[in-house]
Amino acid sequence: MRILTSTGAVLGGGAGILYVLFIGLPVVALIVKAAQGGGILENLSGDFALTALKLSLATSAISMGLLVLVGTPFAYLLARSDSKALRLVDSFIELPIVMPPVVAGVAMLMAFGRQGVVGSALADLGINLPFTAAAVIFAQVFVAAPFYVRAAKLGIQMVSREYEEISQTLGSPPWATFFRLTAPLAGPSIVAGLALAWARAISEFGATIIFAGNLTGKTQTLPLAIMTSLQSNLAEALALAVLLMAGAFLILLVLGAATRREWQGRI
């Protein structure tokens, strides 16, 4: 602090207050208004809210499971391979982060929709993806995957190859080496990546509404339910919003804990 000039301190302090107010005011306003609208818990226990909550939890859990199953080996490959083709793939990994979710939804519709590139063939087999719970999961995985794969890749890269080589000479085959050594050491990064991916998946709106629609009990996740009830039952919408925000705080806690557990300087 001492290195700041008084002008700098005033400027920085002012900007800081502005920043905190700008972010904090809506958060506080949401909680205050939700509380005024009656019992938050009561509003959440209605069928409409519970159905959306259950759907969000179930679909995001499946999405995260798929992401870990497919994303982890892929992240490992990206972290360890020096292939040029993979490096090219690597540079496209973050595309879904910068792509507008609505565009992602349209793109998925073009791929898996009834008239889609793959979708028409799937439809012939009797498989219809759009406007189903599976489409919700597709949308979530699509937008959330880069957060997980990127964090997992960086975490694995921090574990130098020599550790894995030594583990192998000690009798652990590559897969055992991954579970005994690489995964625990990359663990904090992997958990942080999963937390971010989950945050993204649970808040997914744009791609979902285009590709999966807004069908209560089938594809209506929490964010979609908030939009729907905003037009009819404000108190319910606010309660759902508070719930999602609580989830966000939980993720912040997980992230903080994961960051503290990193093996920085010890790997």
Partner 1 sequence: MSGQPTEGWFRHSVGGFSLDFQWSLSPSRVLVLFGPSGAGKSTALKLMAGLAKPREGKIEIGGRVVFDSAAGVWVPAHRRRVGYLTQQCHLFPHLKVNQNIGYGLRRLPAREREETVRYWLETLHLDGLEKRQPWELSGGQQQRVALARALAPGPDLLLLDEPFSSLDPELRRILQRELRSMLTQREIPVVVVTHDREEALVLGDWVQVLDEGRVIANGPPLQVLGQPGQGRVARLVGVENLLELEVESRNAEDGTMFCAAGDFRLEVPFSEPDPGDHGHPTSSLPKADRVNVGIRASDIILAEVEPTGTSARNRLPGTVTAVEPRPPGYTVTLDCGQNLQCHITRASLTEMDVTPGRRMWAVFKASSCFLVQADG
Residue with smaller CB distance to partner 1, 13 or 184: 184
Q: In the window 175-214, what residues touch partner 1 (CB under 8 A)?
A: 176-177, 180-181, 184-185
List CB contacts of 148: < 8 A, sequence separation 6 or more: 67, 68, 71, 75, 193, 194, 196, 197
Q: What is the dihedral of CA 261, 244, 215, 146, to 10 degrees?
A: -30
Q: Which two tokens stand for residue 49?
A: 């809210």
Residue with smaller CB distance to partner 1, 42 or 165: 165
Q: Which stretch binds partner 1 (CB under 8 A): 111-119, 134-142, 158-166, 200-208?
A: 158-166
- Residue 165 binds partner 1, judged by CB under 8 A: yes
Q: Is 183 exposed, middle or buried (0-12, 13-18, 19+ CB in 10 A)?
A: middle
Residue with smaller CB distance to partner 1, 45 or 160: 160
From 171, 231, 232, 260, residue interacting with partner 1 (rule: CB under 8 A): 171
- Residue 139 and residue 118: Cα distance in Å, rounded? 16
From 172, 214, 216, 233, residue interacting with partner 1 (rule: CB under 8 A): 172
The footprint of partner 1 (CB under 8 A) covers 160, 162-163, 165-174, 176-177, 180-181, 184-185, 263, 266-267
